[in-house]
Each structure stands twice: as structure tokens, then as C-alpha cells.
Structure 1
Amino acid sequence: MTQTHTQDYERTDGRRLRLTYAEPDGAVRGGLVVLHEVGGVTDAARLLVASLAAEGWLAAAPHIDEVDTEAERGAGSSLLAATDTTLAWLVDHGVRGDQVGVVGFDLGGTAALVVAANRKLGAAVSVGGRGIGEPAAPGFPTLLDIAGTLTSPWLGLYGDDGDAVEQAEIDKLREEAGRAKVATNVVRYAGASHRFDADPEAAAEAWQRTLAWFDAHLR
């Protein structure tokens, strides 16, 4: 298994951020910002970082839960500031600007869409995530409010528990994302739950769709 490492990174403007990252064994295909779920950079998040590196991506997960400056206390501003710093780290490590993307899982999936609506990246993927019709956290918009303003090609992968309201929200999100001026796709996996815990086959397919999206858009 590819090893992960943790670094305290400081930009030339003085901004600091702790990053957990993993490097491919061979050629680097591009760079990915990995946005973690609630609880910080857990063992599960480290596994995702390592798995992406094994596929050829230089992957870095910012420790967003540790960002706590006066200018960055809101959830949305902390997220964008941490993403910008991680993107700078990727560029410092030789990744071109058109070869960078963002991927998030669970609450990180919500965050990935927020980033994709506020930054022009090569590609973005959300795997699960809350906050479609109601804000997921203070400082976050609803995803329905921003999906039509996406500025990065975005793929949304959502499991559901068979709830009709939940299904309708995902379908509405697909409709709103379709209004954006970039490529978008929303895939719903019925019965997979929002974390894909209930359906290993759906989880495996979602993983392959994630890799294929980055393959298609980060060249």
C-alpha cells in the first residue's frame, strides 16, 4: 500500500496548513485535493489518499478542521482557503494548473461541490454529501442554490435509502447542475445509502466512475 505522509506547509504569504499526502510510485498524472468527512483526516481518509496515489495521482488532504484564523472561521471560507493552499502545494510539486482536481466524500462531497462552484479546476467529484436542499453546516449554501453556477466539470455520485424525498432532491440537483456551463453528471444509486455502506457493488462502480471522470478531464 502506498504510504501517506503529513506535512505542515507554509505559503510565501504566511498562510499555514497541515496536509496529509501520498505520491505515486511512477509518473504523476495530476494532482487531487481530497476533502475529508466529519472527524478530520481519519484512517479512512488516509486510505483514500493512498488509493488515489496508487492510481497515479498526487493526492493531498488538507486538515480543514484545524484551520482557525480570524479571517477563516466560517465553514465556507475555511474550506476555500484550505483548498487554495493545497492547490498551491500541488503546483509547488510540479502539477500544472489544468491537471488539478478536487474530490470529496460524505461531507467532503458537499464541500467539493462548493469548491467546484467557486474555483475553476480541471475536474471535481462529490461522492455522497448532505446539504442538497438545506445547508449542511453554518456558512455553507444549499447545493441546489449553487449547482447551476458550477465553474469546474463536476460529477456527483449519490446513494439513497429509498426515501422518495431524498430521491427527488438528487433528481433536482441533477437538473440544476445541468444549467451550468461546464460538463456535469449526477448518478443516483438506489438503496446504497449516502455513504455507500449498504451496497459494495455500487461503491466499486462509484470508485471507477470517479477515476474515469478524472481521466477524461485532467489531461
Structure 2
Amino acid sequence: MELERLLRSQGFGSRAECRVRVLAGRVKVAGDVCVDPYAHFEPAGLSFTVDGEPWNYREFVYLAMNKPAGYECSRRPQHYPSVYSLLPQPLVTRGVQTVGRLDQDSTGLLLLSDDGQFIHTFTSPRKRVPKVYEVTTRHMVDDAQVMALLNGVELHDDAKPVGAVACIRMDEKRLRLTVTEGKYHLVKRMIAAAGNRVEALHRITVGGFSLPLALPVGQWMWLGSPELELLAQRG
């Protein structure tokens, strides 16, 4: 693949913009400056730097972010900053998207990718991917509420009750809830239907992949084969 096309595929601008970068000596391939925008390279496994920043060629991007509160999962946020502002510009330019959404006040594991099939797999209700949330409630959680969540609660836009796969009471006002649906504000509406209210919502697991404890709030990480295999697990 020509170098300028390769850079464009990785989010470094239009072909013309990438050509300018190369001609200016701002790109190194395998440690050597390359000033020929039409030089051919095998993209698979290729390492390069742009303006001193190291990159590896990736056909698709798979990321996990520890989403902080106060960020919207939108490219056109209305009231809060966008989670995309936490990513390097090349990832935004190449079209990385959030895989589903977390509300601005919700935190925790957020997946991002530019692989359409991956996004579909983890957002389609038919795939029934388990997602685990730690829920802090306004009022004390009693046995009746736990049973209601497990047996299924009535939501105004659903013809049949929606239940949790698992519901563990962690203390008086905290639950660990596992759901497989992907409906709008699902956990908040389920808790409300059970007679309580969500004060804080933190997603810790998708599929078999859990948010790494070492990943700081507001930071992101690349997902490789081991993490993707864990994501594919259904419990």
C-alpha cells in the first residue's frame, strides 16, 4: 500500500494532507524517515511514527475506555464534553464509534471500534451479550426489589417483563446487576420499576471482559486478541 494511502486509512487526514506530512519528513517507517508518499509497504504489522508519535497499522480499531462521569457518548454533545475528546485525533478521524452508550452521569467500561460487525454484535438485542453494572440506589434495597428484578419488571415500552440475568445485593444500597438487553436507560428504568432509584451507575463487564483495575478513569487501551476472546464469552 502506498504510504499516503496507508496514513489516510489510519486517520491522519486526507491523502493530500498525508502527502504533505510525508514530504515534510514527519513520518518514519520502521525507524527511518520516509519522504516518498508513494513508497509501498505491506501494512500488516507495520510500525510507524507521525510527528514522533508511535503507531501500528490496524485494519480495525478495538478500544476499551474507563469512562468518567460528565461526558456524553456523542459526536455532537449538547451539555457535556464528548468522550471522543478523550481520544487521539487520528482515531476520531478514522471513524471510531462508541459501542452502545453510557449516559453522561454513568461511568465504567465503554467499548469503541470502527468495525461495523463488531459494533453490531455488541449492540444487537438478539446477541444477548451480558453486561454487568454496579448500581448505587437512593433507597435501601429489599428482598422484594431483588426478586422483582430477577423475575422481570414491567417497562412501558415493552410488551413483556424485562428481568435481570443476575442480581446480587452488595450492601444496603448497592447492587450488582447483569442484563442482556440493550434498551435505552434500561438499568435505570428497571430499578425505578422495582420501586427504587439509581444514584450512580458503573459498568464493569461486557461479555467475559471486565474493566481492568489498572486503567485510570478517562483513559483508554487497545484491545488485542486475548481481550476480544474474553468479550466473545457469554458466561
Q: Which bracket does the TM-score occupy, shorter chain normalised?
A: under 0.3
Question: Structure 1 or 2: larger helix share?
Answer: 1
- Compare relative contact order (CA 8 Å, sep 6+) and give the higher one, 1 or 2: 2
TM-score (norm 1): 0.26
Structure showing greater radius of gyration is 2
